[in-house]
Amino acid sequence: MNKYTVVVCDHIHEAGLKMLQDDENINFIMAADEPKDKLKTEILPNADVAITRSSTDVDDLFLANATNLKAVVRAGVGVDNVDIPGCSKQGIIVMNVPTANTIAAVELTMAHMLSCMRMFPYSHDHLKNQRIWKREKWYGYELKGKKLGVIGFGNIGSRVAKRAQAFEMDIVAFDPYINPTKVTDLDMTYTKDFQDILDCDVITIHTPKNKETIGIIGEEEIAKMKDGVVLVNCARGDLYNEDALYDGLKSGKIRFAGIDVFGKEPAINNKLLDLENIVVSPHLGANTYESQYNIGTQAANNAIEAAKGIAYPHAMNLPIDESTIPKFVKPFLEMGQKIGFLESQMSKSQIISIKVTGHGEIAEYVDSLSTFVAVGAMSQNSGDTINYVNAEFVAKEKGIKIETEASVDSSVYKNLITIKLTTSEGTTTISATIFDDNVQRLVNIDGFDIDVALRGDMIMFKNSDVPGVIGSIGSVLANNDVNIADFSLARNDQNEALAVILVDNAVSEKSLSELAMLDACLSVNYARV
């Protein structure tokens, strides 16, 4: 009987190790205490599957020696230490275990929330370490009757909301990528107006870390909050701007904060630690015995299934054997994912359906293309939990319909893809191609024929086709120190125009608001790809 070799590169729960030891089809190698050079050069060449954590980097040396490897299982959520593109080039599937620590993160959030309201760590220190009994110093606040703003209503955010509801808090949820009934069916309030979150007594965030969510709470948002607000972040570092958070805490605008994650870790020198109105923990979201058991056993199960070729749970990539497909296909797959991501940013609302049409030779690969598009479109909300293997299942779970259409005749273009994204707010349709210069080009946006590169920071400005608009746009951007890199203009037969403006730097909400206030403006959208 052939056995599959699974190498455990870092320590996982003993229950996971036992699963590997007890499987008669698995040759189990425990290498967590081996020097990393020896692991990579002497042990990995025999591995079918490797299980890693944060202590082992899946880097060039790792991949150069992993000549027999089918899969890498990252025992945890984050995959920052895994070279996913490098794995894909070698046909190695990368998997993680994204839901194993859900309850641990939920309960830690509640612990921080309660600690902020009652200042438990400080009163504990006062009595136990300083031996001072001074009850009158430690008046806190009750959760009952307070309004809790939940940013991100996924696996963790929704569970936090349910537990807070048991404390008789009023819940307001902000998540433009879910069906509002997911919130309202729980007798909670769903909002699309972020100001409703800023008006809450307590705010907690549970989103992926991406371009849209980094710094989602900053100086401007804190200024709009009520005095004495409490902020909690047990999700990802940098979702709250740390400088703005520091200033808000120091001024008293923010009464208290509970923080488990930081922009740079270990955060032993972070200035937030100097404040007396903050409760901190060293990234303990997954640090429970139960979650470590879940992580270990799920990682072991993933490794066993991958080694045997049964399944690849929570795969993060789609291995592409470039020798079996024409070279022109892969750039179209990448472009399709970017367009899905672009369109989801333009709408920022619940996705209803995705239709992908391929014209020309690329039509033969339209099913694979639809998977990449779906990953791009859903990644705004799903973050680490969306991947090429589970995209179809996640879409079905969210009630998103995915359609494909193939047309051998591409008329004007040798190869053309068209992606139609329908959301609760409307429909966006974008067509794109790749010319001989290998530059990805958008050639039609919602019926406007245009020619613009798909890259960087993009403003899409739709307006009534009247004189002076281009100058007004330029003035607004110049006044906000935004430099224009490219300006493409298209017109239709309804006396409307569309400008797609590539800029050199990020565009603030203030700039977008000023553009929206221009008399001729019909709509303005901003995206980063």
Active site residues: 236, 265, 283
Strand, coil or helix: 365: helix
Q: Are 99 and 107 in contact (CB under 8 A)?
A: no
DSSP states of 245-263 as a string?
Answer: HHHHHHHTSEEEEEE---S
Give the containing element (helix H, strand E) for 391: helix 391-397
Residue 24 CA to residue 137 CA, distance in Å, equals 62
Strand, coil or helix: 488: strand
Query: 3-state SS string over 129-152?
Result: CCCCCCHHHCCCCCCCCCEEEEEC
Burial annotation 130-153 (CB, 10 A radius, 16+ → b, else e): eeeeeeeeeeebebeebbbbbbbb
**CB atoms near residue 494 (< 10 Å):** 9
Residue 200 CA to residue 305 CA, distance in Å, equals 46
Give the containing element (helix H, strand E) for 528: strand 521-528
Cα 444–449–452 angle (5° rounding)?
65
Backbone dihedral angles phi then psi of residue 160, each to the nearest 5 degrees: -60, -45
Residue 320 CA to residue 79 CA, distance in Å, equals 19
